[in-house]
Amino acid sequence: MADTHHNDELAADDHHPHVVSTTFLVGVFVALLVLTVVTVLASYLDLGGRSTNIFVAVLIATVKATLVALFFMHLRWDKPFNAIVLVGSLGMVGLFLGISTLDMLEAIPERDREFSAEGIKRARDRLGPRPGHETGAADDEAAKQLIQQAQMFGALPAAFESKKNPATPAKVELGRMLYYETRLSKSHQISCNTCHDLAKFGDDGQKTSPGHRGQLGTRNSPTVYNAAGQSMQFWDGRAADVEQQALGPILNPVEMAMGSEDDVLSVLRSIPGYAEKFKAAFPEAQDPITYHNIGQAIGAFERLLVTPAPFDRFVEGDASALTPQQQKGLQTFMQVGCTACHMGPLFGGNIMQKLGLRKPWPDTKDQGKFEETGNPGDKMMFKTSQLRNIAKTAPYYHDGSVETLDEAVRLMADYQLGTQLTDEQTADIVAFLESLTGEVPADLIKEPELPPSGPDTPKPDPN
Amino acid sequence: MFSSRRPWSALLTGALTFALTGCPGEQPAKTGDTTGPGSGEASAALSTDEVKKLQEMASGMFGPVPAVAEAAGNELTPAKVDLGRMLYFETRLSKAQDISCNSCHDLAKFGVDGEKTSPGHEGQRGTRNSPTVYNAAFHSSQFWDGRAATVEEQATMPITNPVEMAMADDAAVETVLRSIPGYGAKFGEAFPGQEQPVTMANVGQAIGAFERGLTTQNAPFDRFLAGETAALSPAAQRGLKAFVDVGCIQCHMGPQLGGNLFQKLGLRKPWPNLGDDTGRAEVTDNAMEKYFFKVPGLRNVAQTAPYLHDGSVADLGEVSRMMAEYQLGQQLTDAQVADMVAFLESLTGELPAEYVQKPDLPESGPDTPAAQQD
């Protein structure tokens, strides 16, 4: 019998007689099997946190090891010194594992507590360098440093003021009306708000926007929120400021499709309510209803479309405004080099940059500023988008060709910076970008009542 | 819930990892900022394979300097270019009749005067460094703050700037040119069909037309791009690689290695001693553009010291080091700086000697105003 043979062998080594019955040994064997099953089952139960699960598993294993040592290895009948050596070394192993476990649990965020080398590495990468081991103080110190670094982006102002176009309540009110005024389009169906929907973070979520007769333009409608703070307007930067920009789409045949500036003015002059509003907004002007003043009024309104976000609270010193992952993402954002273009309080919007800097951008149908200037140096030069509210303004790029923020981030790193982001880094950056989603000024953007048309107001022309 | 399939082995691996690598808090503060490619590496020559890859990448990124910078709005006729060359050297376009375009943008000296800021009328100094006129026509805007869109527009502005050529106004310039008998015919040929071609606008058109031919060809870097990899020394090759990897190309891109965008000086940390010059913000009145300056093209940069908008840095190595540190948050090693400078030196092209020869200028007429010293 196998058992007998086994015990004979042990007996020869230990000079101890065979004192245990076979039944007893089989009993111990069954107990071991049962405990193994319990261990496996316990691993599927949530016993109140991972540390408890581990504790239970270790406990059962210890019991099993003890059974083996006591009965199969005859420790039960051995010299006491051998028992002390075994228990002592088991104790040391337990102590070592226990302390390591506590350390890991403290260091690794909840969702990353996978006890694989990869999981631990990722968790450590996410945590980044920490000067000390003491949790609270060290994290505060790291966050403080990050806040300091983040201050290089600068504070988001409460409004983007312009000396050339100072805001007055009357001008802003008129601007808001004109922003929602569909009669500035040939079909009376399209206003600024149609493509730059203030309730949808300032855009329409379309790849390119449908304009007059549903015609699609070639470029994605960028958000109007915080746009006034940019150094230039349109994807190719062809307008210097929001005042100038506001006048473009009204006359664009694929957008609002008005025939001429005079057509626009005759519409506004035919609506009785507007004369007074323009007068109040431009009290100095003899004839305030001018095309230029439409831009001034809409621009004055747009200069107030500012969306303060969690990131701004972070920069002001509130470390908790960004989650640990977002803080990590901010670090990655800076380290990878996104800041070379996405800098300033808007994270961009202030320079032109070549799309496909490190390797050629696959789609060169639209050559950006080159289309405007014909200067070979301007090929593929586009305005660097601002990133405020970027998580809410998909799809991305000048042609709206990329739908997800993940993909947009990955493409940027690859084509602009020559860096392949890991999934982890991408997720961190995306999490960070979500901290740029701000509060829209609900009162300011409420759709105002518009004055009714007069007898001479031209009828809508859907064609 | 505890989801690992093998809790024990995983736990052991985890413990082992900690035992081998130390606790997370003791990890050295290693960030992307300090891991610039090549930092601490020995300066070994790149392998043939690496050089080939570098050459392929660079030829996609940069490209040679075209022979002329064509413009839709200014046809380059020989007559116009000849007139432009004369006007470029014409000191009578200045109040004291001692300053021409060439005084500050010396065509024999790679288009600059080597001064921190240039002496203008009566030795007055401007606040900004005179950039080179070579290849400038390719830039997407002119001046350090981009306030002129084209060389044509740029060319007329120093003439009436009180600290530069200090002419009273456009009319004063036109009076001088009309008083010089030889110019009437020259303007007539350059701008046929115009009743009065001697105008300030045409001065800009003519000078601009001339400047559009001020290109420097056949730099070692261009030969490298064309496939002659040996045109760059091993140091210059390493420098090019570092230039790309460190991230300089984020601003210095295209055939001119810059000149096509604005960037904030002091992007990663505040630039030291910035002074009152806020750059682009002075033109646009946009507070968000404070300290934005045009990114200069780097063609011939080794010949056009001192550097930056205020000419505050005299040494090319030093300015490279500062750019990496303040714009990109990277510390270059001495070896990297040396490599980078070797690369930048490879951007020095050949001057078009014949094209820039000073022409004979027509003599003043009886009505030509005398030079005024004030």
pLDDT digits (tens, 9 = 90+) for A233-245: 999 999 999 999 9
Hey, what are A370's tokens? 């080159």
CB atoms inside a 10 Å sphere around CB B158? 25
| Most B-contacting residue of A50, A103, A115 (CB-CB within 10 A), to test interface | A115
Could A132 and B264 be called an inter-chain contact, meaning their C-beta atoms sit closer than 8 Å? no
Inter-residue contact B242 to B335 (CB < 8 Å) = no
Q: What is the pLDDT of residue A2?
A: 44
Residue B307, phi then psi, degrees to nearest 5: -110, 165
Helix B181-190 and helix B170-179, axial crossing angle in degrees, nearest 10? 110
Q: What is the pLDDT of residue A203?
A: 96
Range with lowest mean pLDDT among A95-99, A245-249, A442-446, B84-88:
A95-99
pLDDT top residue among B309 and A1: B309
CB atoms inside a 10 Å sphere around CB A260? 10
ipTM over 0.90: no
B65 closest CA partner among B266, B352, B328, B284: B352
pLDDT at position A16 over 70: no
Average pLDDT over residues A349-369: 93
Closest approach of B311 to chain A, Cα-based (Å): 23
Q: What is the pLDDT of residue B39?
A: 43
Confidence at A48, pLDDT banded by 50, 70, 90: low
Paired strand residues for B350: B217
Q: How many helices (H) and strands (E) does chain A have?
A: 18, 2
**b/e map of A199-231 (b: 16 or more CB within 10 Å)?**
eebbbbeebbbbbbeeeebebbbbbbbbbbbbb
Average pLDDT over residues A305-317: 96
Bond from prior residue into A395 cis (ω within 30 degrees of 0): yes
A116 contact residues in B (CB cutoff 8 A):
4, 10, 13-14
**Which amino acid makes up residue A380?**
M
| Most A-contacting residue of B57, B261, B330 (CB-CB within 10 A), to test interface | B261
Arithmetic mean of pLDDT over chain A? 87
Report the residue from B24, B57, B61 with minimal CB separation from A127.
B24
A142 closest CA partner among B34, B27, B327, B18: B27
Q: What is the pLDDT of residue B30?
A: 35
Q: What is the pLDDT of residue A17?
A: 55
- Split chain B (374 residues) into runs of 10 and give each run's mean pLDDT: 44 45 38 40 82 92 92 93 98 97 98 96 94 96 95 97 96 97 97 97 98 97 96 97 94 93 91 90 87 96 97 97 94 97 98 97 96 86
Chain A, window 245-284: residues with a beta carbon less than 8 angstroms from a chain B beta carbon: none
Give the CA radius of gyration of chain B.
26
User: Where is B148: in which H helix or E strand?
Assistant: none
Residue A382, phi then psi, degrees to nearest 5: -125, 160
Average pLDDT over residues A248-257: 96
Residue A323, phi then psi, degrees to nearest 5: -70, 160
Residues 6+ apart with CB under 8 A from A84: none
Chain B, window 51-80: residues with a beta carbon less than 8 angstroms from a chain A beta carbon: 57, 60-61, 66, 72
Confidence at A113, pLDDT banded by 50, 70, 90: very low
Could B286 and A107 be called an inter-chain contact, meaning their C-beta atoms sit closer than 8 Å? no
**Which amino acid makes up residue A391?**
A
**Which amino acid makes up residue A272?**
P
Could B23 and A103 be called an inter-chain contact, meaning their C-beta atoms sit closer than 8 Å? yes
Query: Among the residues of B159-315, which ranges form H helices?
Result: 170-179, 181-190, 200-211, 220-225, 234-246, 281-284
Specify the residue for token string 């009578």.
Answer: B92
**DSSP annotation string for B310-362:** T--B--HHHHHHHIIIIIH--PPPHHHHHHHHHHHHTT--B--TTTTPPPP-P
Distances (CA, A) of A216 to A210, A212, A220, A254: 5, 8, 10, 7
A248 in helix, strand or coil?
Answer: helix
Q: What is the pLDDT of residue B16?
A: 46
Q: How far, rounded to the nearest angstrom, does the alpha carbon of residue B166 sit from its chain's CA centroid?
A: 25
**DSSP annotation string for A284-345:** T-SS---HHHHHHHHHHHHTT-----HHHHHHTT-GGGS-HHHHHHHHHHHHHTGGGTS-TT
A354 in helix, strand or coil?
Answer: strand
pLDDT at position A260 over 60: yes
Q: What is the pLDDT of residue A376?
A: 80
CB atoms inside a 10 Å sphere around CB B45? 12
pLDDT at position A159 over 90: yes
Range with lowest mean pLDDT among A55-64, A71-80, A108-117, A174-183:
A108-117
Average pLDDT over residues A280-304: 97
Range with lowest mean pLDDT among A66-75, A253-262, A286-295, A415-424:
A66-75
Q: What is the pLDDT of residue A23?
A: 87
pLDDT at position A138 over 70: no
Confidence at A457, pLDDT banded by 50, 70, 90: very high
Q: Cα separation of B36 and B338, whole Å?
A: 15
Phi-psi domain of A419 (left: phi exceeds 0; alpha: psi -120 through 50; beta: other): beta
Q: What is the pLDDT of residue B43?
A: 72
Inter-residue contact B245 to B41 (CB < 8 Å) = no
Could B7 and A117 be called an inter-chain contact, meaning their C-beta atoms sit closer than 8 Å? no
Confidence at A86, pLDDT banded by 50, 70, 90: confident
A vs B: CB pairs below 8 A: 173
Hey, what are A321's tokens? 């405004």
Distances (CA, A) of A115 to A104, A110, A121, A266, B10: 9, 12, 10, 72, 5
Q: Cα separation of B284 and A349, whole Å?
A: 14
pLDDT top residue among A140 and A332: A332
Q: How far, rounded to the nearest angstrom, does the alpha carbon of residue A433 sit from its chain's CA centroid?
A: 3
Residues 6+ apart with CB under 8 A from A263: A458
Q: What is the pLDDT of residue A118?
A: 55
| Most B-contacting residue of A56, A149, A361, A375 (CB-CB within 10 A), to test interface | A375
